[in-house]
Amino acid sequence: MTVADIPDLIRQSRETVVLTGAGISADSGVPTFREALSGLWKRFDPEQLATLEAFERDPALVWGWYEWRRESVSMAKPNEAHSALARLEASRPRTVVVTQNVDDLHERAGSKRVVHLHGSLFTPRCAHCGTRFQFDATVPVEPRDGRRIEPPRCALCGGRVRPGVVWFGEPLPSALWQEAQAAAATCDLLVVVGTSGLVQPAASLPTIARRAGALVLVVDPHPTAIDGISTRCLRGRAADVLPALVEAALA
């Protein structure tokens, strides 16, 4: 198989799954999880801020960090890679994006079928009863690096609202994980973009797809743990490679 064959594979695919990680949002200026510990947050370890125990111990500290992350993401814009995947889905509705990212850049680019395995910064919920909390869209977005912010309270039960992400020690939402597994098991092409392939269980999805007979394509500027089972690896930035592939496939 050559690089020239890949647009044909995308064009001929009946069901395509795209697994994305932090690398696809890097060109939008969204830092990775550990890189997000910048400015005044550098004095903390991620595991001090990304656990249920940390939230219960100091909810204002944890909520403040996640609000800073949410506000930083809100000011970022989808890049060419996000837009390319949205165009692919618009042309081929049986395309699904499974992402490990907690930003909303896929949705803002226009993707409709997005499975957030690790949750989202934009879907907080009550830590007690699970009721979804809606942010006030009229409140201006301002980065608040290092500020402690008391979490809002649930309108239903009065419990503290927590970030809508999966923390260390928590399982993936079962319904979303089952959806992702089913998509991987039934697709004929799985494209892995911007993820090292080290974070489980998401890293098992390419193996599930490969065992079911699907082709696996890796797009990443660096070697990944998935390269060994992939059909083809394309080295390069997602924002450069994906638009070219999708444009050729839809031509």
Q: In what order do the strands lie in the sheet with 16-20?
A: 114-116, 95-99, 16-20, 189-193, 215-219, 232-234
**Confidence (pLDDT) at 146:** 62
Query: Average pLDDT in the 203-219 region?
Result: 97
Partners of 126 in the β-ladder: 161
Q: What is the chain's mean pLDDT, rounded?
A: 91
Report the alpha-carbon distance of residue 6 to residue 250 in Å, rounded: 12
Contact 80, 105 (CB under 8 A): no
Q: Which domain holds residue 106?
A: 1-28+78-118+172-251
**Confidence (pLDDT) at 163:** 97
pLDDT above 90: residue 5: no
Report the alpha-carbon distance of residue 96 to residue 88 in Å, rounded: 10
- 224 within a domain of the structure (yes/no): yes
pLDDT class of 235 with cuts at 50, 70, 90 = very high
Task: Please tell me whether residues 141 and 242 are part of one structural domain.
Answer: no
- 251 within a domain of the structure (yes/no): yes
Q: How many domains does the chain have?
A: 2
Q: What is the pLDDT of residues 133-154, one digit of tens each?
A: 998 766 665 656 667 899 999 9
**Confidence (pLDDT) at 136:** 78
Report phi then psi at 34, rounded to 5: -75, -30
pLDDT above 90: residue 42: no
Task: Please tell me whether residues 111 and 181 are part of one structural domain.
Answer: yes
Task: Please tell me whether residues 149 and 243 are part of one structural domain.
Answer: no
pLDDT above 60: residue 22: yes
Q: Catalytic annotation on 118?
A: yes
- Looking up residue 151, the CATH number of its domain turns out to be 3.30.1600.10
pLDDT above 80: residue 47: no
**Confidence (pLDDT) at 68:** 87
- Looking up residue 101, the CATH number of its domain turns out to be 3.40.50.1220
User: Tokens 């932090």 correspond to what residue?
Assistant: 22
The residue annotated as part of the active site, out of 82, 116, 118, 222, is 118
Q: How far is CA 95 from CA 10, 106, 198, in A?
A: 10, 13, 24
- 167 within a domain of the structure (yes/no): no
Say if residue 117 is exposed, middle or buried (CB neighbours under 10 Å; 0-12, 13-18, 19+).
buried
Task: Please tell me whether residues 67 and 95 are part of one structural domain.
Answer: no
Q: What is the pLDDT of residues 106-120, one digit of tens each?
A: 999 999 999 999 999
